A = this chain, B = another copy of it.
Amino acid sequence: MPYTHYKTPHLAQFFPIIGWLKTYRRQDISDDLFAGIITAILLVPQGIAYAILAGLPPQLGLYASILPPIAYALLGTSRTLSVGPVSIAAIMIAGVLTAPEVSALGNPVQSALILSAESGLMMLLMALLRLGGWVNFISHPVLAGFTSGAALLIIGSQLPQLVGLKAPSCGIDMDCYPHYLSDANTSTSLISILSLSLLLFFGKPMTTLLKKSGVTLSLVTAISKCGPLLVVILGTLAVNRFNLAEQAVAVVGNIPSGFPKLNTDFIDLQKGRLLLPYSAFIALIAYVESIAIAKVTANLRGQKIIPNQELIALGVANMVAAISGGMPVAGGFSRTMVNFSAGAHTQMAMLIAAGFLALSVIFFSPWFADIPKPALAAIILVAVFRLVRIKHIFHTWNYDSADGKAELATLLGVLLLGIEEGIALGIVLTIVCHLRKTSHPHIAIVGRIPDTEHYRNIQRHNVETWHHLLLVRIDESITFANISFIEDYLDAELKRRPDTRHIVLIFTSVSDIDTTALEALELFNQSVQASGKTLNVSEAKGPVLDKLQKTDFIEQLKPGKVFFRTEDAVKELG
């Protein structure tokens, strides 16, 4: 019974929306409507806040919340992923836009749109090359360390906003602490404190309170997610009422009214080339974050995510973001969980949310001008705070110390070296550890179990051995990664058994010998022959023998031989 995948290519494979629309039930719509509204309530302040976090005009975040989630809804395989601006991509964009070589070219809005377009293209390229599976080589501990580190960077970047410090570069550096007291703006700080208090109250305390008073669970969810919107509304009212904008409270400022015009005027080849490596990193992180949260929610409902189709959906969503004037998008951790736990059944919820965003851009954008930035900073702070999971490092370390070290190294790398450098460090570290593990294959000296033709490990079984004969079973394919370990093992064994005259390598578990291994075996054979011994091989599989027969290795072994069975070798040499 061969193991095959049967694939029927049909339209629903390219447009997963067809799949769920066919079975869409009437009761689904009420759940999706509810979840869509809740998510929209969250998306408006998040869209504005993440655009500002990235150092961009607020409309880039709002525009990224309209057409891109619609594109994803048509193409994506996750039923509940909420695609739009996300905090980690935002801090990466901020880093790119403030890099000297990028800021020197001016026009950050254009740069952001190029980043959207290019990261979209990168994802489509990855889909074309079917690289979706390679994301598995970013291990979970590295991803967790990266998320914590990026969240800490975001928190650091918001602290000056909270007290209204002028220097935007002042973060969590030691030298800044005095400024937090001396240069703090009173009105700004007051707004921040009130916003934070309100947001924190809308968390656990209010949910507990509401549950106690017997409010239905879905209403509790709905109310508890309104915190950010309420903070924005109250903050805006306060700015209007007390003329706070004149008292040095930073506000969002004018947002162009109406729907964004679709265009591709932002294209600039020179700038594009400069931004390409950054785009690749943003694409990688956006994809990894999206697929991780998509998998979690899909598993909870026994649904299935198709990595390559996700690349296509997210790639198109990002290109749509660029064309409709939006910043790069991804599936957000917290927003997707809100959408999921608000009861979203399908991407209909996100279509509804996108509709609300479109309405708010068309009708409410003049009202957004007076939103105080400290209120947005408070929203970001509360949103990303739960991404910082320092304790998780200890849990990981406790379970697997190598993983724990990789997680800590990634976190420290992100904080001390930079976002891209940090995750690169983590990926390299895990791969290096993995290579080190795979370069130590299992090898056993074997002997014959009496009265059988069965050969087993001499350390575990009572077996016959022969004085001049060394039988070695290598339990893995022989490659550049482990040949040196194998050589050292054989050398050490030969030293311990100076009377050995014949060595037989048993290849039952060897399914490949690569070029490096072959050349090393040839050298090993030379040194074996130089000391008057012979090297032999037994039980080589067909494909391995075919490969060896293309070379003169078997010729070189002479007087050593290739035996069909270990038993034959023992009969002749034992």
Contact = CB atoms under 8 A, between A and B. Distances in A.
Interface of A: 1, 3, 5, 133, 136-141, 295-296, 298-302, 304, 396, 398-400, 402-403, 430-431, 434-435, 437-439, 458-459, 477, 479-481, 483-484, 489, 491-492, 512, 514-516, 518-520, 523-524, 526-527, 530-531, 547, 550-551
Given A3-B492, A299-B524, A479 B434 contact: yes
Contact of A515 (B136, B139, B479, B519): B139
Contact of A514 (B1, B139, B516): B139
B439 A435 contact: no
A396 B519 CA distance: 11
B302 A527 contact: yes
Given A141-B515, A396-B515, A399-B547, A300 B526 contact: yes
B484 A133 contact: yes
B480 A439 contact: no
Contacts of A483: 136
A140 B492 contact: no
Q: Which 8 A-B pairs have the closest CB atoms?
A: A302-B530, A139-B480, A403-B515, A140-B516, A299-B523, A136-B484, A299-B527, A139-B516
A492 to B, nearest CB: 7
B515 A480 contact: no
Contacts of A396: 515
A527 B299 CA distance: 5
Contacts of A530: 299-302
Contacts of A398: 550
A492 B531 contact: no
A458 B439 CA distance: 31
A143 to B, nearest CB: 9
A526 B302 CA distance: 8
A41 B358 CA distance: 83
18 contacts: A1-B459, A3-B492, A136-B480, A137-B435, A139-B480, A139-B515, A140-B520, A141-B515, A296-B523, A299-B523, A299-B524, A299-B530, A399-B547, A402-B514, A431-B431, A434-B480, A437-B477, A437-B479
Nearest to A398: B550
Contacts of A516: 139-141, 403
Contacts of A520: 140
Quick one: which of A136, A137, A520 has the most chain B CB within 10 A?
A136
Contacts of A477: 437
A137 B298 CA distance: 38
Contacts of A523: 295-296, 299
A481 to B, nearest CB: 6
A136 B517 CA distance: 10
A140 B403 contact: no
Contact of A434 (B5, B140, B481): B481
Given A299-B526, A514-B400, A481 B550 contact: no
A399 B518 contact: yes
A140 B439 CA distance: 16
